[in-house]
Structures are given as C-alpha cells and as structure tokens.
C-alpha cells in the first residue's frame, strides 16, 4: 500500500485542500488528513504496511489521458516500430500522461497498416514499466479533405474506406473523417455497427448542415476544433456552429498558438465542461530542442514552441499536457479539478474507458500525478507504479 499525504487532492467535482490518497494498483481511499489515522485503522494497516509519499501541499490529480498525440522524443507513431512507440510512451509519461491514443496521419496505406500492426502488437504485450500505457489508435487521416489537409500529405488522401480499417477495429478508438467526402454517409452508416469506435469531424470543409447531419448519424466528436476547418461566420456557421448547437465532444490544442488564448474562457462557457477535451497533437519534436524535424515526409521547422511547414502551415505541436493544463488554468476561471477533468476524465469518456481511468475514484486504476503550483510534474504513477 502507498499513501500520498498532505496534498491538494483533485477529485471529479471537488478538491480536498489537505488530504491523503491511498492506493495499490487501484485507488483504495482518500480523504482529509484529519481522517488519515482513522482510515489506517479501518483498513487494518500499520505504519510498516504503508509507503508514505509526502506531497508537501502540491497538487495530486489523475494521470492525463491524451487521445491525440502523434509523437515525442524524436519518434512518431508513423515510424511503425516498437522502439518508436516505446520512446513516445516514455517521453509523454514525463509530462504526466498515463494513457494515450497513438495517432496516425495521412500516408500510404501500407505505412498506416504497419503503424496499426505495431500498436496492436504492443497492446497485446502491454508495458509494466513507468511509462504511459496505450489505449489504442486515433486514425487521423487519410479520410480527410485535401482542402483542409493542414500539414498532412494530400497525395495520399482517400475517401473513407472500411476495408482499410476492418482488421484493426479492436484497437482503433477514434477515426477522423471529413463527412462531406463520405458519399451518402455510407461509411458513417457502416460504422454504426461498431459503437466502440468514435467518429470525429476533422480536416474538413463541412458546412453547418453537413456537420449537423453527421452528428445525427453518430459523428459526435470534433478533432482539434477551430483548426483545419472553416472559421465560424454568422452566415456560414460551419462545424463550430454545429459544436455550439449540439452536444459534440471537442478537442482543443491549448498551446496558445493553434487557438488564441482569449477563446479558452469563451469555449469553456459555450461548450459543456464535460464535453471539452485538451489534447497535445504533439509531433516527434515534443520534448526536444528547436530545429528541423520530419512529419510524414515533410520538413517541419520548430521554433519558440511553434511547428510549421516552410509555407507557414501549422504542423502539430510540441505541447505537453501539463503545459496545456497550465495554459487553460491561467486563461479561464474554472476550478482546478474541472481543468484536470479536461485532460483526464473527459478524454477517457470520449473513448468509453472512464470506468477505469480518468479520475481518482475508489476502485479505479491508480494513474496519479503529483504536480507543483506551476504544473511541473513531480511524480507520476501508472497502475500504481
């Protein structure tokens, strides 16, 4: 048994100012420090039975869940190797991510299949080390609109193709599509038989009516809202207008580069707080120095926290999840526990794993972060390790 003591414990809907959190591989108990000795007696524990971790007033919250991350530490999901996945996992763990979706991009189908096969093999032999755990794949591309491809390679964009993904439906958790490219919504209709796979609107030129129709047919998520889609206009509301009209879940890259920080507060007021999800959209340069990096065969220039192609197109990010939480905290007036939900519980809900992960509820997996007041990660546990 381990016990984190004297911490600010961030729960789903409140925090305990001076509290404890007890765990093995699962969350066992929590409460105010005034109840700690009573809890020990209740569990039949002595001091010798418990490894005590002193939080010293720091934040104690759930491990972060990143459902949109391509790479970090010099590696990328599309490298299609076990080593790349291991590097990605260990790098993002350092910023408090305990669960993630390895995210693909638009490349030749053989490259996508190789990347999916590697993820599948890794999930069949999961890590037991101090590293982030794979929850599956976010397939971002190739089912997108060339006009809104962003930093993806338009030469490999194809209409939604069920046969391409069919062998991997056990590991794919999110598929980004441009619904306007799905003739008669045939693909969307076929995916209704696979409710564990979330369809997401992204890299799209969809108008308001198409986005609303897609929602009515089960496309209930939005990939990095505002980015790679038409802007909100009062006569052409587009995807953002649909987001303001229906209970989509929506990703946000909160690096203050992809989306102006002034929109963070407004978005948190216009979109239900259990529907907004912080992501990093990190590429292989995450955690590394400024310079030139590869993204799907394209040269990306990383400078001062911004990742761009030569023509200025944004090309992913080097954002870390603890920094995303910090940015959202300083630009909104939400309580800290709600902001942590955006990076943990909400993404877990999107892919249907919130019964196990995403918050510090008793019985859930012990994915835990200790952070200081500047949101620097002090210590992270995954499965209590």
Which residues neighbour 330 within 8 Å (Cβ) at sequence distance 6 or greater?
none
Asked whether the beta carbons of 55 and 385 are under 8 A apart, the reply is no
Task: Tell me how far the alpha carbon of residue 357 is from its chain's centroid.
Answer: 13
DSSP H or E segment with residue 59: strand 59-62
Task: Tell me how far the alpha carbon of residue 133 is from its chain's centroid.
Answer: 12
Q: Which residue has the tokens 């603890």?
A: 322
Which residues are known catalytic residues? Answer: 281
Phi and psi torsions of 33, nearest 5°: -60, -25
Please state, in angstroms and as integers, the Cα–Cα distance from residue 27 to each residue in 54, 58, 383, following that order.
Answer: 17, 19, 9
Residue from 348, 383, 358 nearest 136 by CA: 348
Count other C-beta atoms under 10 Å from residue 190's C-beta.
13
Q: What three-state secondary structure class fits 32?
A: strand
């Amino acid at each position: 048994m381990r016990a984190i003591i004297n911490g600010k414990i961030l729960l789903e809907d409140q925090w305990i100012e001076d509290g404890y959190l007890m765990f093995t591989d699962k969350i066992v108990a929590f409460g105010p420090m005034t109840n700690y000795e009573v809890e020990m007696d209740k569990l039949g524990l002595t001091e010798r039975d418990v490894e005590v971790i002193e939080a010293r007033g720091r934040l104690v919250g759930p491990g972060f869940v990143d459902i949109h991350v391509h790479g970090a530490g010099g590696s990328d999901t599309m490298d299609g190797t076990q080593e790349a996945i291991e590097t990605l996992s260990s790098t993002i763990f350092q910023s408090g991510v305990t669960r993630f979706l390895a995210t693909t991009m638009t490349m030749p189908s053989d490259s996508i299949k190789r990347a999916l096969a590697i993820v599948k093999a890794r999930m069949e032999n999961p890590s037991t080390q101090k590293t982030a755990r794979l929850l599956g794949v976010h397939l971002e591309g190739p089912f997108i609109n060339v006009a809104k491809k962003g930093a993806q390679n338009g030469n490999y964009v194809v209409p939604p193709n069920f046969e391409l993904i069919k062998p991997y439906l056990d590991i794919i958790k999110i598929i980004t599509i441009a619904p306007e490219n799905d003739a008669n919504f045939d693909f969307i209709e076929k995916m209704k038989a696979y409710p564990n796979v979330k369809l997401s609107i992204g890299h799209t030129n969809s108008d308001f009516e198409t986005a609303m129709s897609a929602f009515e047919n089960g496309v209930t998520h939005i990939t990095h809202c505002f980015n790679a889609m038409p802007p909100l206009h009062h006569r052409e509301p587009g995807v953002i207008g649909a987001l303001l009209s229906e209970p989509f879940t929506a990703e946000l890259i909160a690096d203050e580069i992809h989306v102006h920080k002034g929109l963070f507060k407004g978005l948190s007021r216009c979109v239900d707080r259990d529907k907004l999800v912080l992501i990093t959209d990190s590429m292989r340069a995450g955690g590394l120095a400024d310079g030139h990096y590869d993204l799907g065969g394209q040269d990306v220039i990383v400078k001062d926290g911004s990742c761009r192609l030569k023509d200025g197109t944004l090309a992913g990010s080097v954002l870390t999840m603890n920094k995303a939480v910090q940015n959202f905290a300083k630009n909104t007036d939400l309580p800290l526990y709600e902001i942590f939900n955006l990076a943990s519980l909400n993404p877990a809900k999107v892919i249907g794993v919130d019964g196990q992960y995403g918050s510090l509820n008793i019985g859930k997996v012990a994915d835990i972060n200790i952070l200081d007041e500047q949101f620097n990660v002090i210590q992270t546990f995954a499965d209590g390790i």
